[in-house]
Amino acid sequence: MVSSEGLSAPLPPPQAATRQYGVTKPISTAGPTEADIQRTLELEKFLVDAGLYESKEDADKREEVLQRIGQIVKDWVKQLTRLRGYTDQMVEDANALIFTFGSYRLGVHGPGADIDTLCVGPSYVNREEDFFFILHNILAEMEEVTELQPVPDAHVPVMKFKFDGISIDLLYASISLLVVPEDLDISDVSLLYDVDEPTVRSLNGCRVADQILKLVPNIEHFCTTLRCLKFWAKRRGVYSNVTGFLGGVNWALLVARVCQLYPNAVPSMLLSRFFRVYTQWRWPNPVMLCAIEEDELGFSVWDPRKNPRDRTHHMPIITPAYPCMNSSYNVSQSTLRVMVEQFRYGNKICEEVELNKARWCALFEPYLFFESYKNYLQVDIVAADVDDLRAWKGWVESRLRQLTLMIERDTLGMLQCHPYPHEYVDTNKQCAHSAFFMGLQRKQGEKTQGQQFDIRGTVDEFRHSINMYLFWKPGMEIYVSHVRRRQLPPYVFPDGCKRPRPSRIMAQQQADKLPYDDGEVSVTGSGERHLKRKKDLDGVDVNQVMPLEKRQSLSPQPRDSVSPVIISDKASSASPEHSDKGFSMEVVESNKRTLLGETEPEYASNSSTITNVTSKGSCDDAGFGSVAVSSEGNTRSVEGSSVGSNNPGYLQGDVCEADSESLSDNGCGNGNLRQDGSQEALEPNAAFGMLLNSNEGVNSEQKAVIRLSLTSTA
């Protein structure tokens, strides 16, 4: 922990690295200059002033909570051992251990952060009944435990709760031992013998954290840099694994790789190099801290040569512990695009800081999401009470990423989505409420006349996936609506009201700074104001809300209840004065309904409200042609892939020249890993890992499931 009292002392010059960290030689072994040391002191002071470090009292409380939980699981295992008729000696020896991982294990947690914990128990204590039923009931009866939420069907089964106000995520792993020793080495590969996949994933969190700390040159510099990047990612809206961005372990692996490439750099240098490296990184080259190891245990490891699904990954970040996996499989084309743009933003600010043209606070300016797009998807999640909303929201949020993937797939990537990981609450609603938003824009650089994006079937498919929730209760509803920027609800803004329009000069300056201004879909500026005046002439309210079908039963609904009639809005028909850049509007609406006593505008019974905004003439000003949203269509499964992705036919190594401050795009191959399985050796001898190319016929299989409606209205 960095204290404000210790900031005045100069950092000692680091010793020259004597060993190679990672799969390649470092880019530079240069140490810091006096200016670098000064910038590091300023950066650490900024982190302290921003409140990113917890107090000693809070740290002591966390330790106390972990000790309490450790004693609870020991008593739980002893109780089960006695009930199952084991000997008194077995009962006495019965044991369970608590390990930590994530930000707490890495030493980069802040005030109020949760603690990722793993309980390791003996072979006769299982997860399904003993952990999620018996231990759950023990915790539920304790006064210190609140907000208890089991998630047994998650990719990594977890029990979430608060213990004396401290948020805990508790996993469970049953290992092939009758007695768990107190000195258990969690990194020992033998623990993976005779265990199932969920147990391997549960164990991997701790194993990966330990490996990261072993593979970085300087743990203190790594922790400070990671703390900066986590804070930056949250401020810029790109910190969320479940939404399709990166979570804590992903950011830790990216930072650790930069630490390997610059082993003698101090945090200010590492922060700057981070953005420099990943601005130029050629995705989907994988980021690896060490070579991928095979083992006789037979668990699947990340290998695009053998696993077709691995070829669809857009931003592979490989875990260093066996079995090596891609920790960032949730990343989509859209979220990768957003992150790369944010890397460029960070690189630009860091360059200005190094030239003394900016201060560190500029790097951590919050991202103005609601000023960056003209069109948004709003997803409202409601439930009867707070407890129901917590469970319902967790289910819906975990599947919002699928909606992004579906839209990418059904529009061939022409309609880009920017899911925003922040949650918003309308306190004026009588029911428990939560809302998430997605920014929408036409693919940058595409000049298409009168293009219509019909995503009604896409939303309906999303509805079907949401309706698979096994613990649905009356009152749990989800509504999807298309809103324009000027119609955003006031509760998404910090002070409850929209920001005033900037002057022409300020608008141009903001347009130059924000990353999503491509001319056609600009953030601010005269072009957007002109378009806004045009749209205002239509006098059409686009805030049509689409409720997704309430889960009544698993039987199909009558056909006429899900086949709304399209009604054309006469006021928006083609006319000479609007034939250039105007909009037409088609609205389908059914019976209005009430939600828990509160009347919502244009609520319909069976997903029957369709908003169809059609651009006539040039799409350059409109941003994109049209977006039609409802929930009518077929049900299909989405496996996390999307058409148009880089599906590599083979992997090719490339070498980055050592001791170079610049990242060269020219390299030489270190061997090919071909899709046909030929055993050419992979030498993990590249600063950028491996280069993925798309040459094989994977796309031909995926195109069969695409539904796309492109209508010309020119």
Q: In whole angstroms, what is the distance from residue 536 CA to residue 540 CA?
A: 8
Among candidate residues 53, 104, 239, 516, the one labeled active-site is: 239
Q: Which of 36, 53, 78, 103 is catalytic?
A: 103
Rounded Cα gap, residues 347 and 58, in angstroms: 34
Element (H or E) spanning 278, and its range? helix 267-280
One-letter-per-residue 3-state SS of 339-406:
HHHHHHHHHHHHHHHHCCCCCHHHHCCCCCHHHCCCEEEEEEEEECCHHHHHHHHHHHHHHHHHHHHH
Token pair 């083979």 is found at 650
Cβ neighbours, 10 Å, residue 293: 12
Determine the Cα–Cα distance for residues 580 and 277; give it in Å rounded to an integer. Answer: 44
15-to-19, 45, 267, 668 alpha-carbon distances in Å:
12, 24, 15, 31
Sheet containing 626-629: order of strands: 452-454, 626-629, 610-615, 583-588, 567-568
Pairing, β 166-174 against β 115-121: parallel
CA atoms within 13 A on the CB side of 65: 23
Residue among 116, 130, 454, 517 flagged as catalytic: 116
Nearest to 331 by CA among 448, 204, 243, 390: 243
Instruction: Compute CA distances 36 → 2, 43, 71, whole Å.
Output: 18, 10, 46
Active site residue 239: yes
Instruction: Name residue 584's beta-bridge partners.
Output: 614
Residue type, 236: R
What is the layout of strands, in order, in the sheet containing 158-163? Answer: 97-101, 115-121, 166-174, 158-163, 145-151
Q: Which residue has the tokens 């009470």?
A: 385
Provide the 10 A C-beta neighbour count for residue 576: 7
Would residue 78 show up in a list of annotated catalytic residues for this protein?
no
What's the CA gap between 521 and 64, in Å, rounded?
52
**Residue 357 contacts by C-beta under 8 Å, 6 or more apart in sequence?**
none
Instruction: Note if 410 is an active site residue.
Output: no
Task: Choose among 377, 499, 524: nearest CA to 439.
Answer: 377
Active site residue 104: no
Helices (H), 499-653: 504-513, 526-538
Q: Which of 130, 169, 210, 517 is catalytic?
A: 169
Tell me, what amino acid is at 96?
Answer: A
Six token digits for residue 484? 């324009």
Phi-psi region of 541 (alpha: psi -120 to 50; beta: other; left: phi over 0): beta
CA proximity to 571, closest of 580, 584, 590, 588: 584
169 is catalytic: yes
CA dist 373 and 358 (Å) reads 27
- DSSP class of residue 67 equals H
Q: Which run of H or E residues covers position 483?
A: strand 477-484
- d(CA 115, CA 171) in angstroms, rounded, equals 11
Closest CA to 405 of 368, 455, 445: 455
Q: Which of 58, 114, 303, 518 is catalytic?
A: 114
Q: Three-state secondary structure along 209-268?
A: HHHHHHHCCCHHHHHHHHHHHHHHHHHCCCECCCCCCECHHHHHHHHHHHHHHCCCCCHH
Distance of CA 381 to the CA centre of its chain: 19
Active-site residue identified among 74, 78, 230, 616 = 230
Alpha-carbon distance values, 270 to 39, 225, 659, 689 (Å)? 11, 7, 15, 19
Pairing of strands 610-615, 583-588: antiparallel
Is 385 one of the catalytic residues?
A: no
Which residues participate in catalysis according to the annotation?
103, 114, 116, 169, 230, 239
